[in-house]
Amino acid sequence: MRSISRISTLIVFGMTILNCRMSGQLLQEFHPRKTQCCSAVYAQRLADDLQDWAMLGRYFEDNQRLAAIPRQPGRVVFLGDSITDFWDLVKSFPEKPYINRGISGQTTAQILVRMYPDVIKLQPDVVIILAGTNDIAGNTGSVTLAMIQDNFRAITELAEKHGIKVVLCTLTPVSDYTANPQTVRHPADDIRKLNEWIRRYARQEGAGLADFYSAVVDEQGFLRKGLSNDGLHPNESGYALLVPVAAGAIEKAIR
């Protein structure tokens, strides 16, 4: 009964949104949208996802596994969104005790919630933070630049309070060179503004800086051609350019 109730709530919520967007006049012709298969299954999945907004369950079991074994010196947690999530750290940093805690689609607000279970409790020497692209895209609602900055401050201060060195990363640029134009949802000017603040804040806070933006940007302010298959996420060639930037920032932070 509880599942049915949750599904019903979602359906009512969806209908409310649709009704708000519809104009107040009768249709001349009725062209119904084709109903997809398994709507109840998708509704249940959405309801389950909303119960874990920050996706604390994503790495729960692996965090428990790591807590049960001796901590390796030089541990680094990569915290972020899909650009971190898709990064093959084992391939990029062989034999390094680096832990991937990226989750596709997340904003800095969600990442902030994950700081204790996915970073602090793992007791890394360094946390490298790459986030903000999805804030600009409005993945969890509209935000101001100041709101994103506050999340970065909170993430940084939490890490520092627990003796964890922080490396802040500039956002990678996007491009319209592929079949998936990205600048509509990720305006280049917004990325530049946030990156300018990240650079200033890193200097003020004495945090490390991994300037990924400068490593992959072209003269147009776009992600260089050939470095992404969708204009947003680096491909293998793109990640190859990020590796030395991250490695240098981590080494400096540990030193």
Would you kindly state where each structural domain of the chain is located, as residue ranges? Answer: 2-20+34-51, 72-254
Tell me what the pLDDT averaged over the chain comes to.
Answer: 89
Q: What integer pLDDT is reported at residue 28 of this predicted model?
A: 64
Look up residue 150 and give its two tokens.
Answer: 């506050």
Determine the Cα–Cα distance for residues 147 and 154; give it in Å rounded to an integer.
11
Structure confidence by residue, pLDDT tens digits, 4-36: 445 444 444 444 444 444 445 555 675 666 666
- Give residue 228's identity as a one-letter amino acid code: S
DSSP 8-state code for residue 139? B
Q: Averaged over 161-180, what is the pLDDT?
A: 97
Say what the pTM is. 0.83
Determine the Cα–Cα distance for residues 87 and 239; give it in Å rounded to an integer.
7
Q: What integer pLDDT is reported at residue 49 of this predicted model?
A: 67
Beta carbons of 201 and 149 less than 8 angstroms apart = yes
Structure confidence by residue, pLDDT tens digits, 119-153: 999 999 999 999 999 999 999 999 999 999 999 99
Determine the Cα–Cα distance for residues 110 and 81; give it in Å rounded to an integer.
10
Per CATH, the homologous superfamily of domain 72-254 is SGNH hydrolase (3.40.50.1110)
- Reply yes or no on whether the pLDDT at 38 is more than 80: no
- What stretches of the chain adopt beta strand conformation (E)? 76-80, 98-102, 126-130, 165-169, 208-210
Contacts with 231 (C-beta within 8 Å, 6 or more apart), sequence order? 174, 175, 176, 177, 178, 180, 181, 182, 223
Determine the Cα–Cα distance for residues 75 and 71; give it in Å rounded to an integer.
8
pLDDT more than 90, % of the chain: 79
- Give residue 251's identity as a one-letter amino acid code: E
Q: Averaged over 183-193, what is the pLDDT?
A: 97
Hey, how many other C-beta atoms are within 10 angstroms of the C-beta on 138?
A: 11
DSSP 8-state code for residue 234? B
**Crossing angle of helices 188-205/145-161, nearest 10°?**
30
pLDDT band at 232 (very low <50, low <70, confident <90, very high): very high
Structure confidence by residue, pLDDT tens digits, 91-112: 999 999 999 999 999 999 999 9
- Reply yes or no on whether the pLDDT at 203 is more than 90: yes
Hey, how many other C-beta atoms are within 10 angstroms of the C-beta on 39?
A: 11
Q: What integer pLDDT is reported at residue 26 of this predicted model?
A: 54
Q: What integer pLDDT is reported at residue 35 of this predicted model?
A: 61
Read off φ and ψ for residue 237, nearest 5 degrees.
-65, -35
Determine the Cα–Cα distance for residues 157 and 166; give it in Å rounded to an integer.
9
Determine the Cα–Cα distance for residues 138 and 188; give it in Å rounded to an integer.
15
Q: What integer pLDDT is reported at residue 170 of this predicted model?
A: 98
DSSP3 helix / strand / coil % (the chain, rounded to 5): 50, 10, 40
